[in-house]
Amino acid sequence: VNAFIEVVTQYGIDEYDFSVYETRTSDVIQNVKNFKSEVGILYLNDFDRNVLEKIFSENEISFHKLFDCHIYAYVAKNHPLAEKKTITADDLIPEPLIISNELLHSDILTEITGRPHDHLHISATYSLLYNASIMVKDGLGIAIGLDGIINTRGDSRLVFRPLSPNR
């Protein structure tokens, strides 16, 4: 949402009509390619950067970096892992994980944990991180998602912690 707000602020609401539509990366690319959307906002990481840059080039789509973001673990404040400053891949192995549909169909989670999906306890998937945050608040697991999307300040029952590989 912060990326969306930045684009709206930069281009102005008086000149354009804006709407938010959250979907898979491949759908964002197709929507821009086919002019269903004029702008798509995507997360690039080291794992998929080369593949996505090739797709952008083949489809004559330009990519402009808005800001850096990272994958975090959203944890209930009363969960033991909430006390840690950083959560390691080993910390995640025994935990029920709530991951995006996008992560389920990519190798990013395998890159983070060092284990294939079938060696992880994936308890639920989500399309919107907001829905995952409700599941976390209700004790269904730890959500993996981008930082800064869900409010974890003030009286929120959630915290987010950076993920770090086991090294």
Q: Which positions ≥6 away from 67 have C-beta within 8 Å?
A: 2, 3, 6
Task: Tell me what the mean pLDDT of segment 121-142 comes to.
Answer: 91
Mean pLDDT score of the chain, rounded to an integer?
84
Task: Tell me what the mean pLDDT of segment 111-128 comes to.
Answer: 85
pLDDT reported for residue 89: 85
3-state secondary structure of 99: strand
Token pair for 112: 């983070």
Task: Tell me what the mean pLDDT of segment 9-13 comes to.
Answer: 80
Task: Tell me what the mean pLDDT of segment 86-99 comes to.
Answer: 92
Minimum mean pLDDT among 16-20, 129-133, 152-156: which range? 16-20
Q: Which positions ≥6 away from 15 have C-beta within 8 Å?
A: none
Q: How confident is the model at residue 1 (pLDDT cuts 50, 70, 90)?
A: low
What are the strands, taking DSSP E only, across the chain? 71-76, 87-88, 96-100, 121-126, 142-146, 158-164
Q: State the CB neighbour count (10 A cutoff) for residue 53.
A: 13
What distances in angstroms separate CA 19 from CA 63, 115, 144, one per listed residue? 19, 37, 25
Q: How confident is the model at residue 78 (pLDDT cuts 50, 70, 90)?
A: very high
Task: Tell me what the mean pLDDT of segment 141-158 comes to.
Answer: 86
Q: Residue 54 pLDDT more than 50?
A: yes
Task: Tell me what the mean pLDDT of segment 135-145 comes to.
Answer: 93
pLDDT reported for residue 107: 73
pLDDT reported for residue 166: 55
